[in-house]
Every structure is written in C-alpha cells, then in structure tokens.
Amino acid sequence: MNVESIVNAVLAVVWSPYLVVLCLATGLYFSVRTRFVQLRALPDMLRLMFRHERSDAGVSPFQALSLSLSSRVGVGNIAGVAMAIAFGGPGAIFWMWIVAFLGASSGFIESTLAQIYKDRDAKGQYRGGPAYYIEKGLGQRWYAVLFALVTVLAGAMLAGTQSNAITSAVNEAWDVPVMVTTGVLLVVLAAILLGGVRRIARVAEWVVPVMAVAYLLVTAVVMVLNVERVPEVIALVLRSAFGVDAAFGAMIGTAIQWGVRRGVLSNEAGMGSGAHPAAAAEVSHPVKQGLVQSFSVYIDTMVVCSATAFLILSTGLYNVYDPAVNGVPDEARLLLGNLPGVEAGPRFVQHAVESALPGFGKSFVALAILPFAFTTILALYYMAETNVSYLCRDRPRGWVMGTFQLLFLAATGYSAMNSATVAWALGDIGVGMMSWLNIIAILLLQRPALAALRDYEDHRRHGRDPLFNPKLLGVRNTSVWAQ
C-alpha cells in the first residue's frame, strides 16, 4: 500500500458516521443545557469582544479572539468550502451552518473550561486548553497526555494543509514553483515563531481583521455583479440539503457528512483548538472569554464560509444537470475541466472570482489565501506549543522546543510539496482525532462550565461586573483563580 492509501484508510476510520452524529448531537445537547446561550448572549459577545483587559500574564480578549480566528479563518473557509460543494453538493453549506450554530455552544463550553482551569507557565504567562482541564477537572493525567500528544501531531498535520493551499494558489495565480513558495514561507514562519505567543497575537490582531474585511468586500462586489442569481443560490442550497430535487436525492448523506467535516475543520467548535487561545486571555470571569470565543464560530462559518459559498454558486461555476432533460448522469459536476475535487479546492474559488472579475480573480484569491493560511499556521503552532509545554510540565528545555520547532516547520514544508489529497486527508485525521477526545472530555466535564454560566448571569442580573470565585461554586484545582 502507498502513503495515500494508508492515509485514506485511517481517515475512513476516524471520520466514521459516528463522529458526524457525535458533533451534531453534542452541539444540540449543549445548546439545550445552556438555553441557547449562542443566541441569548449575542449582545454580551459583541460588548466583551472589544474590552482591552490585558496583563503581563495574559493577552486581551480581542487578541485571544484574533488568535482563535487565525486558527479558524484559514483555507477551510476558501478551499474547504469549495471541496464541500464539490463532494457534498450545495447542500453541504446548509449543514456547515447547522454545525456552526450548534457548535457555538460546544465552543462556549470548551473555552470557558479552558479559562477555569488555565495555569501559568515558567514565564508567568497563561497556558491552558483541553489537556489542562482534562487533568485538573477530570483527574485523568493519562487522558490529558494522550490529548496533548494527539494535538501536537494534529497541529503539524493541519499546518501542512494550510501550506499546501498556499503553494497551490500561488502556483495557479503566478506560476511560482512550489519549492520557491515553500522556502519563503518557512523562513518567514521561523522568524515569527521564535517570538512566542505575544508576537503571534500581535500579528493576528492586525492581519486577521484586515484580510477578512478585504475578502468580504471583493465577495460583495462579485455578489452585486450576480445579484439576480442570489435567490436561486439560496434555493439551490436548501433543495440540495434536503434532497428535494431528483438530482440531489442520493446526496443527502454525503451533504451532511461533508458539511459537518468541513464545518468542524473550519470553525473548530468542539475540536478543542479554540480553547488554547481562550485560556491566554486576561478576564475577570471565564464566561466572558467563553462568549467571545463562541462568537468567533459565527464569524468563521456564517460570514466567511458563506461568502465563499455564495461566491462560487452565484458565478455559475457549479452546475446541476437534470438527467430528465439532458440525459447525463444524475450527479453534480464541477465545470473545471478534469481537475479532481481536492486539487480543485483553491483553484475552484480562483476560477469563480476570475469569471466575474477577469484578470483579477486568481491573483486576489491567492493573495487572500496567503494571510488566511499563514496566520492559521501561526495559531496551530501556538496550539501545538502549548501542549508541548504541558507535556514538559510548563518547563520545556531549550533543546526540546528547538527540536519541536524544527519538526513543525519540516512537516509544514513536506505537506506544502506533497499532493493536496494527502495534505487534506492528514488535516482531516488531525481534526477527527482531536474532536473524538475533546468532545468526550467536555461531556464529562460540563458541570463547572454550566455553573460558571449561571454565576455570570446572576452577576449580570444584579448589575455587577462578573468576578469569578471558584470556591463559591465548589470548583477545585483552579490555581490561577485561587490566587
């Protein structure tokens, strides 16, 4: 068996239908348990997002949000959406919306837990995430170590997905050799990674908003140029999601699977990655950052992913052939020649924008993917580094961190030069492994997060700025909050 066959076999096991059901069911469960906090607390989310609390130990809530968005807003929002449509039909977008809405509650729980059980590292800076709350909250050191090891591996896998998309998009736009793009990428990455979390957070704080706004503005222009198609695009998504048309009758299961898989890869709700930057924030109550991180799921999927989907579908580069009329197979088709679905990821979007804005589309999408993917790699590095720090009990020796950085950069470079099929499959495996472990953990450890939510809402009802006291809630092993 070759590498691609082995990777695909592992992917089929990790991303079984059971994981799809688990992601949706967990999101629904936490939505009910929190009384749909993702809707009720929207005003608080917006208010808390721009508070500038920070300290020597922690970054501001907005910086933590930006770091989280760096991880969430990546090539999954561009190439990932294209692939979801390619393999699952337009209906996959609807299921991405569903997993985002329900997943926002899972994201709230994991981020609140990360704040409750955060710790300080050897430099006095906040560290936290699933490994920390699994050990402190569940008391299962072996489970926490397993998650940390899986996350370090998954971080490198997912970084490879991002770097592969960069090289693919740049090659398509400007015919730059993959080796050149990869070399420049690795040199710049190395220069930033050595600066630690604060430098990464500062880069994310400025780059993420700018790149997102620029991408949305161009998408809006394309939408205006194709405004007469918007109603049909919405109808197409809904018909495909529920198999109303004969052309989509056999694609319902595929639409759900690809919508959930790409949704989780994009917004990362329930996966545990967003919990790492959430723990780095300086706030007076864990729920504050839980709400901010929950809102980032909406920004990622409801805004950026939706923009890509409408961009593709409104330009007509996706089409459905009716066998009763055209006499062709009952399936959705990509109108991109013979490009395989995975290889067509970034190129699909590039051709869509190019069709509306000739001479501009390919270059713009490549320029959009560069910062999207680059900041995601930075966020993934921070996530993996946090778990290396955990495994070394927050006192990693210099050679340990140096070796880890070299291996991370090597994995990023390897996938950049590998086939897109292998790169995306490895990324999906990383997402799946983390999701299995983290979802089980937050289901077992939900009580402290729910108690913190009730405490926060009680403070708000009485007009007080919420201050967290774990002793009053019976929450133990919270060393940072106890001080």
Distance CA 456, CA 442 (A): 19
Instruction: Give the DSSP H/E element, type plus range, for residue 14.
Output: helix 3-14
Residue appearing with tokens 């983390």: 434
Of 281, 284, 302, 308, which is closest to residue 293 (Cα–Cα)? Answer: 281
What values do phi and psi take at 359, rounded to 5? 80, -5
pLDDT of residue 56: 64
Q: Is 482 helix (H, G, I), strand (E, B) or coil?
A: helix
What is the total count of domains within the chain? 1
pLDDT of residue 325: 37
Distance CA 75, CA 376 (A): 8
Q: Which residues does 180 contact at the CB level (< 8 Å), separation at least 6?
A: none
For the chain, 483 residues long, give each residue's pLDDT as a single digit of tens.
688 889 889 998 999 889 989 999 999 999 999 999 999 999 999 898 877 666 666 677 777 777 777 777 777 788 888 878 877 788 889 999 999 999 999 999 999 999 999 998 878 889 999 999 999 999 999 999 999 999 999 999 999 988 988 888 888 889 888 888 888 888 888 777 766 666 776 777 677 778 778 888 888 888 888 888 888 888 888 888 887 665 555 567 778 888 888 888 777 778 999 999 999 989 999 999 999 989 988 888 888 889 888 888 887 766 543 333 333 333 334 333 334 444 456 777 777 778 777 888 889 888 888 888 888 888 899 899 999 989 987 666 678 888 898 899 999 998 888 877 888 889 899 999 999 999 999 999 999 999 999 999 999 999 999 999 999 999 999 989 965
Could you give the count of Cα atoms lying within 13 Å of 254 in the half-sphere of its Cβ?
A: 16
CATH number at residue 9: 1.20.1740.10
Instruction: Give the DSSP H/E element, type plus range, for residue 120.
Output: strand 119-120
pLDDT of residue 329: 35
Asked whether the CA dihedral 119, 125, 128, 131 is positive or negative, the reply is: negative
DSSP 444-480: HTHHHHHHHHHHHHHHHHTT------HHHHT----HH
**CA angle in degrees (0–180, nearest 5) for 317-220-43:** 125
Domain that holds residue 157: 3-482
pLDDT of residue 196: 65
pLDDT of residue 330: 36
What values do phi and psi take at 57, rounded to 5? -90, -30
pLDDT of residue 141: 96
Q: Which residues does 228 contact at the CB level (< 8 Å), separation at least 6?
A: none
Distance CA 450, CA 37 (A): 11
DSSP 129-191: SHHHHIIIII--HHHHHHHHHHHHHHHHHHHHHHHHHHHHHHHHHH---HHHHHHHHHHHHHH
